Structure 1
Amino acid sequence: MVSFTMPGELIARTESAKRRRKPGKRSRTGCRTCRVRRIKCDEAPGSCRNCTSTGRACDGYDLHRFPIKRELCLPTLGMGAGGIMTSDEKRGFSYFQYRLVPDLVGFFDSWLWQKLVLQMCHSDPAVCHAVNMVSAIHQDAEERGMRLAGEDLQNPKHRFALEQAVRSFAHLQKRRASPDPQLREVVLVCCLLFVMAELLLGEFARAFIHLRSGTQILEESLRLGIPVIPCLSETLRVLNSQSSHVGDFESESGIQGEAENERDIETLDGFESLKVARQCFQRVMYRVIPFIATAWRLPQTEILANYATLWVKRQRLLYSLEHLAERFELFYQQEYATLNAKEQIGADIVRLQLVAKTIVLKTCLLDEYDYRLLTFEYSNLLSGYEKFMDRFPCRPTITLDYGLSFGLFAVASKCPDLGIRLQAVDALRRWPHYEGMINSNAGAGIAVEAIKLELHKMQKDDAERVSLMDQDPDMSFWEMIRRTQNGTQWPAVRDVELRVKETRQL
């Protein structure tokens, strides 16, 4: 007798068999092509046979994974460069989009980070791999409190980042002779991402190499009349000016273009928007920041020997800065209430920056000044910074824009009142972050050395104060600075070293 199985019984047996079947172990070490195709890879050395037998290009094997924190709970995206991304790269890109971009945007909207780079990630593999590199390094840097830790290839995040960097370079090399008009901007974006990665590692010498490459491409574009997306050129120029404070003295002259000079600022009657005000501020900073770096780096004998030339240049810059500050204050008082919440934050930052740069520029040479007035100005500046920081407990860990660290460092290292200086050091440590080339932990470490020197000079070596200062989150900071290429020639470090020499001669 033939027995028939009812459809319901057949379904039940099939489902029961599925439940009994042991799940196979999913390979996580297959080639990238097979992982994207979601098939089992035979993992043959060099190139897998799955790919070579079907005429596909085997994209090789990942040696290291992207070790993301589970608590971040970032969404993983399905699309990437050319539609091909491994699961690790999807997570890395998601980390960049949902964790790092908000930091980079900071207190100002940024078409560069909110639009351009994200769009390039979906169309260009070189940018996509560079983004993954930065994601891994930033995650590690944040865990370390944004210290200058250096590269450690025993660290799985650093190994993953290195692998992504190699892939990014390889894609750029393949396209060197390409007539693609977008290639120039792809290369500039990759330069920025590599600068960021090296800064997060504290590898300043390598960051300068990438920055100079981007600067040369930008200068060539200006000479040839090739347009460059403004947000790219502006970011490169900001980094170029800041580099004068961390030892890249070849960049002091800055990138010239569009006939920009002090007269452009001096003829301004007002600003039509915060965006225009920020652009004018940046144009003045391209000259002010390298000048301050030069003044801080020179010993007193050289300042005296070149005082007339330095004084004339300083007065010209000071005039432009004060004129800009007057115009901005008028804009601030008239338009602040009409700005949206984010624009008001940006306006507050620009206002604080103008005050800080003006104070530092006025006092960076050997002029005599009223110490009581100077203390009052620095105290007010620090108060403004602290109020601003109290409003934003969740602050960005990295931005490529001008921010507050320079002014806080100026208070911490230059104010005549040591108590106010200690408050500024504490503020720097409470907000560990990067502002382009400037690291807040580095600023705090240098300022502490300057304060110890002042206590020694005054023979008031307060044990309690010194013990508080020695609770530095990076105890090896000073040794690291001395190992860093040109570290001992950073203007702020040089300033402290010069004061040490002067003290020994007393």
Structure 2
Amino acid sequence: MPGELIVRTKSRQRRRNTGKRSKTGCRTCRVRHIKCDEAPGSCRNCTSTGRACDGYDLHRFPIKRALCLPALGTGAEGIMTSDEKRGFSYFQYRLVPDLVGFFDSWLWQKLVLQMCHSDPAVCHAVNMVSAIHQDAEERGMRLAGEDLQNPKHRFALEQAVRSFAHLQKRRASLDPQLREVVLVCCLLFVMAELLLGEFARAFVHLRSGTRILEESLRLGIPVDRCLSETLRVLNSQSSHVGDFESKSCFQSEEEDERDIGLLEEFDNLKVARQCFQRVMYSVVPFIATVWRLPQREILANYKPLWTKRMRLLSSVKHLAERFEVFYQRKYATLNAKEQIGADIVRLQLVGKIIVLKTCLLDVYDHRLLTLEYSNLLLGYEKFMDKLSCRPTITLDYGLSFGLFAVASKCPDLGIRLRAVEALRRLPHYEGMMNSNAGAGIAVEAIKLELHKRQQDDLAERVSSMDQDPDVSFWKIIRSTQNGTQWSAIRDVELRLKETRRL
């Protein structure tokens, strides 16, 4: 009947119109003709129903986008574009687990995510970092610089402009939360610049955040502790990759060390880690300073350097002894993630003790030093073998510094090459420190040592490590303001001059 045909046709149209096919969703949702939530990795529509998500045909961020920037303000105040939704989803489900891979953090697990829902400046800054991190991960966390022909970098630039615009609008605001919003944005911009390898720009944002932190301290304005500690860790690490060395935002080195001495034992890993960080605020800049000094300057200032080194070494040893008691007594009671954190702190303490002992011109037993470095490397290798979660970025202390110390300072070149391989095994960022960059510098130092010792047996093995990542890294360093003054690079340059005099 004609009437029946009309009814059937309309009902069929209604059924067809109710499900809008996703053009950028996963293949499974597109076949099922349902809207995909486009979560990174696997969409929740599939995983929640036990289906296998077949992945996405398109990149997570737009490929075809005009180079000109859209009008400011669109996509803000809770109205997010599909690209921004994917960026936030990537941050929440991919980047945050990396940032808290070693240690839990209120900053990333709660504070920043809450701010994203309430503040458009933070939301746009988060999208900026997500785009740049995704691109960096695809490149193996290598330093590559900014490239505005790259669609992810263009998307990141758009988000950065919008974040700045929202912050500018609120400059005169009396909102008590504005200070923490600005500090979080500073931190996210530091992360973005580091992932690009734009260290000079990262220092600018870090200086701004440090000044705001110092002003907050003077005015008695409270700042979230996790946020202030993260900025302070980056501040101390910056002494290794530039000439920026700001004074402590909170208290002097002597006060930090005195506080460590007052604590007799640790109740939990959180307190132990806080004590470790306080000591590192002084130890890390000292090591960076000494590594930058030529031999004649160390000799000219040996007494004050030796005195400070001994004071720091005493603090680290005291902390290591008490941490070992905690480790032996409590390790079995910690959960899996806390055990990872405890292992990292323990390895870091051992590494810092060895470096402090040998950073000046003291005479030491090379065989004993080789054994200490060998044991340290073995500890790192065992830890990495059992590490199921391998973060690509963390703003805390992790593996890179200890591995770099072995790769650049151990008397045995074979052990140093093993450490280089370990650095490249886990390409990642630890605050200011990039594992690929550390490996590149260490390879240059090993080549110098081979030249001095005239050892050809390892030359072929070293030449195989001289890869493109090292070339791109040195290109970035030469174009970076004060890049050649980095403590580790300066150390290599000084040894190069010494080799030329031989």
- TM-score bracket, normalised by the shorter chain, equals 0.7 to 0.9
Q: What is the letter of the counterpart of residue 72 of structure 1?
A: G
- After superposition, the CA RMSD in angstroms is 2.4
2:249 equivalent to 1:255? yes
- Once the two structures are superposed, residues 239-278 of structure 1 have per-residue CA deviations (whole angstroms, 9 ceiling, x without a partner) of 0000000013333x33233983311112221011100000
Following TM superposition, by how much is the alpha carbon of 1:429 offset from its aligned partner in structure 2, in angstroms?
0.5
Aligned equivalent of 2:501: 505
Following TM superposition, by how much is the alpha carbon of 1:477 offset from its aligned partner in structure 2, in angstroms?
2.3
Following TM superposition, by how much is the alpha carbon of 1:228 offset from its aligned partner in structure 2, in angstroms?
0.5
Is contact 1:81–1:122 with CA below 8 Å preserved after alignment?
A: no
Aligned equivalent of 2:230: 235
Aligned equivalent of 2:211: 216
| Residue from 298, 307, 330 that aligns with 1:303 | 298
Question: C-alpha distance in 1, partners of 2:7/2:251?
Answer: 74
Once the two structures are superposed, the pairs formed by residues 101-500 of structure 1 within 5 Å of their partners are: 101-251=96-246, 253-257=247-251, 260-462=255-457, 463-471=459-467, 473-500=469-496
| Residue from 29, 41, 56 that aligns with 1:72 | 41
- Once the two structures are superposed, residues 52-73 of structure 1 have per-residue CA deviations (whole angstroms, 9 ceiling, x without a partner) of xxxxxxxxxxxxxxxx999723
TM-score by length of 2: 0.87
Following TM superposition, by how much is the alpha carbon of 1:99 offset from its aligned partner in structure 2, in angstroms?
0.3
- Once the two structures are superposed, residues 32-70 of structure 1 have per-residue CA deviations (whole angstroms, 9 ceiling, x without a partner) of xxxxxxxxxxxxxxxxxxxxxxxxxxxxxxxxxxxx999
Is contact 2:40–2:93 with CA below 8 Å preserved after alignment?
A: no
Question: C-alpha distance in 2, partners of 1:453/1:214?
Answer: 39
Counterpart secondary structure, 1:83 = coil
Is contact 1:349–1:403 with CA below 8 Å preserved after alignment?
A: yes
Aligned equivalent of 1:37: none
Is contact 1:81–1:121 with CA below 8 Å preserved after alignment?
A: no
Question: C-alpha distance in 2, partners of 1:15/1:346?
Answer: 59
Question: C-alpha distance in 2, partners of 1:182/1:148?
Answer: 34
Following TM superposition, by how much is the alpha carbon of 1:473 offset from its aligned partner in structure 2, in angstroms?
3.5
Following TM superposition, by how much is the alpha carbon of 1:74 offset from its aligned partner in structure 2, in angstroms?
4.6
Q: What is the letter of the counterpart of residue 127 of structure 1?
A: V
Q: Structure 1 pair 425/227, CA: closer, same or farther in 2 (3 Å)?
A: same
Q: Structure 1 pair 373/82, CA: closer, same or farther in 2 (3 Å)?
A: same
Identity %: 81
Is contact 1:75–1:91 with CA below 8 Å preserved after alignment?
A: no
Structure 1's unaligned 5+ residue stretches are: 29-67
Counterpart secondary structure, 2:471 = coil
Question: C-alpha distance in 1, partners of 2:102/2:245?
Answer: 30
Following TM superposition, by how much is the alpha carbon of 1:476 offset from its aligned partner in structure 2, in angstroms?
2.9
Aligned equivalent of 1:40: none
Question: C-alpha distance in 1, partners of 2:22/2:452?
Answer: 67
Following TM superposition, by how much is the alpha carbon of 1:10 offset from its aligned partner in structure 2, in angstroms?
3.3
Aligned equivalent of 2:6: 10
Q: What is the letter of the counterpart of residue 255 of structure 1?
A: C
Is contact 2:141–2:195 with CA below 8 Å preserved after alignment?
A: yes
| Number of residue equivalences | 458
Question: C-alpha distance in 2, partners of 1:19/1:479?
Answer: 58
Question: C-alpha distance in 2, partners of 1:200/1:74?
Answer: 26
Is contact 1:398–1:436 with CA below 8 Å preserved after alignment?
A: yes
- Once the two structures are superposed, residues 89-148 of structure 1 have per-residue CA deviations (whole angstroms, 9 ceiling, x without a partner) of 111000000000000011111110000000000000000000000000000000000011
Q: Structure 1 pair 125/365, CA: closer, same or farther in 2 (3 Å)?
A: same
Following TM superposition, by how much is the alpha carbon of 1:20 offset from its aligned partner in structure 2, in angstroms?
10
Is contact 2:235–2:245 with CA below 8 Å preserved after alignment?
A: no
Is contact 2:133–2:195 with CA below 8 Å preserved after alignment?
A: yes
Question: C-alpha distance in 2, partners of 1:289/1:186?
Answer: 28
Q: Structure 1 pair 127/20, CA: closer, same or farther in 2 (3 Å)?
A: closer
TM-score by length of 1: 0.86
Question: C-alpha distance in 2, partners of 1:24/1:350?
Answer: 51
Is contact 1:246–1:491 with CA below 8 Å preserved after alignment?
A: yes
Structure 2's unaligned 5+ residue stretches are: 25-36, 46-74
- Once the two structures are superposed, residues 355-405 of structure 1 have per-residue CA deviations (whole angstroms, 9 ceiling, x without a partner) of 001110111111111111100000000000000111124400000001110
Question: C-alpha distance in 1, partners of 2:324/2:22?
Answer: 63
Counterpart secondary structure, 2:371 = helix
Q: Structure 1 pair 386/375, CA: closer, same or farther in 2 (3 Å)?
A: same
Question: C-alpha distance in 1, partners of 2:317/2:145?
Answer: 39
Q: Structure 1 pair 181/380, CA: closer, same or farther in 2 (3 Å)?
A: same
Question: C-alpha distance in 2, partners of 1:381/1:296?
Answer: 20
Bigger Rg, structure 1 or 2: 1
Is contact 1:81–1:123 with CA below 8 Å preserved after alignment?
A: no
Question: C-alpha distance in 2, partners of 1:390/1:26?
Answer: 41
Q: Structure 1 pair 15/103, CA: closer, same or farther in 2 (3 Å)?
A: same
Following TM superposition, by how much is the alpha carbon of 1:467 offset from its aligned partner in structure 2, in angstroms?
2.4
Is contact 1:74–1:95 with CA below 8 Å preserved after alignment?
A: no
Once the two structures are superposed, the pairs formed by residues 54-73 of structure 1 within 5 Å of their partners are: 72-73=41-42
Q: What is the letter of the counterpart of residue 341 of structure 2?
A: G
Question: C-alpha distance in 2, partners of 1:434/1:402?
Answer: 10
Q: What is the letter of the counterpart of residue 235 of structure 2?
A: N
Following TM superposition, by how much is the alpha carbon of 1:481 offset from its aligned partner in structure 2, in angstroms?
1.5
Following TM superposition, by how much is the alpha carbon of 1:86 offset from its aligned partner in structure 2, in angstroms?
1.2
Is contact 1:75–1:94 with CA below 8 Å preserved after alignment?
A: no
Aligned equivalent of 1:61: none
Counterpart secondary structure, 2:455 = coil
Counterpart secondary structure, 1:255 = coil
